[in-house]
Structure 1
């Protein structure tokens, strides 16, 4: 090995390590690395001088010089590898920061949501659904028309499901940061009609704060397992068999265990089949839930207890309260590499407003003003299959049954409801979905009358 070759190798290695220094300096304190580079520079200068005069050295001295040179090269290469690793870490951190949002002061902001367009064509066998009705936006089992003249196929386009959210994390100088989450969409709100503007008022979906194991604010009920819901073009999908509720709460989480005190509200059915919101609740709905998961999927078990209440000012027949309760088991089980089975089963007394968008009420009231909780049971099952990496389908069905005290509620209230759907979803790019879905749903009253709804829906959604 000639002196010129060694000189080139030493100089090139040292230069590469030095050039990488600015990027690595962003990742951590590099005082030790700077010291190592300075020491290597001094060694290289000495070795280069000795290489220039090595022809006067003995063979033993030249061998010693060669060994020292190789040692410097080894340390230089090690330094290069460390600097390369640091540069990779810096790039990863930078990419994550860009993806996660931006910072103002001590607060990190992250924006998210999606834009969705729905094209829906539906018909109902038991009566016409009016233009602008929310029943034309998504399935509401308790509002399927019954007993009227069948409608034709009515078509609507809507972007109302478009959703925006903002998440923050603020360092307040405590052990944990304080987080917040606020989300809005444009469903079930007033606004412009389909003649001109199609403008709709934003509504608050979720708004809560978190600190450590605590959540305070409005979000999905702890009694509901959102992770078990199947993929559907419809807003909910398996609505008759689904626990579905968002409300204010205080929730504590420890591992898989969750305990929550949530917004109480008693919905009462009168003898005419009407609905009264008493607003006389004194105790929160209490929920306890346990989540368990693994590579195979996840399971959730949840229980709820409620105090249902009415007062003399509601019916003029005195005050009364009743005990409500419910149990729900739900989950998502992996089938093969990518497919999955999702399910939910729920039963209880006085659960009315928690099931299927309040298909029936929590309780009925008798002539003495006493509450009789209504027992219900419901559930759904859904299977999702991937035909290819960018193509998948879900087939699902759900069912609801109420044990109405007909002597109190009358026979015009919902006794049963069920639905089924199948869809095909194509994802031509990351976070971009295009899907088509067919749904059939039916509602039966206590008097035996029924009505059905058929719907074809095409949707496109871009998430961000």
Structure 2
């Protein structure tokens, strides 16, 4: 309104100024009245022209304002959509961050490609070519009592892994997911002569519905999050709980309860291993997880029923109880450093520790089961030197209280190992590293053997 009043004032002043300017010339150009009529007509034309221009300017401003409002609305809608997508990505049970959709199911994938170059030497005997002992550390298989081997070198890509996941939309009140995981470790039919072909194997296969898990997964008794950053397949194997098996598991906040596949491993009076396969009661596991900015800690307990029948040894049926406790975690020491640990103790835990270093129980002269007591643990310190370099220094230990009178002296009494590595990541998904490991195995009869290993690896995670 103020702008319009100012323009009207300008018109009046223009008319008055024009009249004043025309006064001296009135005598030459006719009467004053004629002169004023012509001037008034001229001023009115100018006023009409200014009004037309004002209307045009108002129309342009209105169009500009409307376009601006529309663009703002579109921007706000885009921001809302981006926020919705970000929320979906942040919720792993509802939306995977990569994959494709089939119907109401999102299918995603992950995994890595890993190349390992391993050169190792054993003091107690030669490890045969093609043996899995040349792929990663298996404490219970370190040779003892023989002649030292030369350094044996092998290249492989067997640890490469594929993970497929699904998330199905079954409404806001429920979540339904699944996972299948494959790699090529510990499988037959490969050769180093021509093709280096290896069969894929099933690592994990499970479904989850709300708080329930059904299928094959890491044992609830194992804390995968505490494992050290190593180039070896496990790293601190002698002191690590390490089992994957079928189970039914319930999870609520930090609490986990599971019934898992039972399997009793028995040491015979000759020191051999027998798997009876006659178990009737699952292994029961209870676990609780604590976490915060400081890191995470897990406490787990397991209760087992070990069992054999007459057809295993011809000595009748028998059963015994096994149990175990494990405490593990990952603690933030500083912004760049962390400390990882695990301590486990129990009776009849054999197959759960260090890739079954010793068995769950021994068989006495009467054909009864005698559970074997074990304790084990590891500690690992990781330091991040920069955005591209990191290192881990770790060590682990295992000890068994074997009933030697029932097992002979040829079974493992203790095992330990240490390793150190340096890993370089030129870009985020790629790790290139070198690692040195020393491991030792000692039998109940005093014989021992060690393993030294240098490993170079390149890994691309996707």
**Do both share a fold (TM > 0.5)?**
yes
Runs of 4+ aligned structure 1 residues displaced above 3 Å come to 52-57, 67-81, 86-99, 172-175
Alignment deviations for residues 65-99 of structure 1 (CA, whole Å, 9 cap, x no partner): 9x999997996685365245246548868999894
State the TM-score, normalized to the length of structure 2.
0.84
Corresponding residue of 1:291: 289
Whole-angstrom distance in 2 between the partners of 1:87 and 1:412? 67
Does the CA-based 8 Å contact 2:96-2:167 persist in structure 1?
Answer: no
Question: Which position in structure 2 is the counterpart of 1:301?
Answer: 299
Correspondence 1:130 to 2:128: yes
| Residue 257 of structure 1, aligned match among 245, 255, 258 | 255
Is the alpha carbon distance of 1:331 and 1:71 closer, same or farther for their aligned partners in structure 2, counting shifts above 3 Å?
same
Aligned partners of 1:319 and 1:79: how far apart in 2?
77
Partners of 1:93 and 1:171 lie apart in 2 by: 15
Partner of residue 311 from structure 2, selected from 313, 338, 354 = 313
CA offset at residue 191 of structure 1? 1.4
- Correspondence list, 1:24-103, <5 A: 79=73, 81-83=75-77, 85-86=79-80, 88-89=82-83, 99-103=97-101
**Whole-angstrom distance in 2 between the partners of 1:122 and 1:277:** 31
Structure 2 residue aligned with 1:463: 461
Partner of 2:246: 248
- The number of aligned residues is 413
| Pair 1:74–1:187, CA change in 2 (3 A) | closer
**Partner SS for 2:454:** strand
Helix, strand or coil at the partner of 2:426: strand
Q: Which residue of 1 aligns with 2:31?
A: none
CA distance in 1, matches of 2:169, 2:67: 45
Whole-angstrom CA distance in 1 between matches of 2:285 and 2:415: 26
SS at match of 2:385: strand
TM-score (norm 1): 0.83
- Tell me the equivalent position of 2:322: 324
Q: Quick one: distance in 1 between partners of 2:73 and 2:105?
A: 36
Distance 1:216 1:74 in 2: 55
Which residue of structure 2 lines up, in the alignment, with residue 198 of structure 1? 196
Segments of 5+ residues of structure 1 without an aligned counterpart are 4-51, 58-63
The correspondence for 1:276, drawn from 274, 277, 281, is: 274
Give me the whole-angstrom Cα distance separating, in 2, the residues matched to 1:90 and 1:323: 52
Residue pairs, 1:271-420, within 5 angstroms:
271-420=269-418
Secondary structure of 1:388's match?
A: coil
Tell me the secondary structure at the aligned position of residue 271 of structure 1. coil
SS of 2:382's partner is: strand
Q: 1:370 to 1:428 in 2, by over 3 A?
A: same
Spell out, residue by residue over 1:176-201, the C-alpha distance to the aligned partner (whole angstroms, 9 max, x if none).
23211000100011013111111011
Query: How far 1:175 moved relative to its partner?
Result: 3.3
Deviates more, 1:179-188 or 1:96-105: 96-105
**How large is the RMSD of aligned CA atoms in angstroms?**
2.9
Deviations 1:371-393 (A, max 9, x none): 00000000000000011111000
Q: What residue in structure 1 maps to residue 30 of structure 2?
A: none
Note if 1:444 corresponds to 2:438: no
CA distance 1:130–1:104, change in 2 (3 Å): same
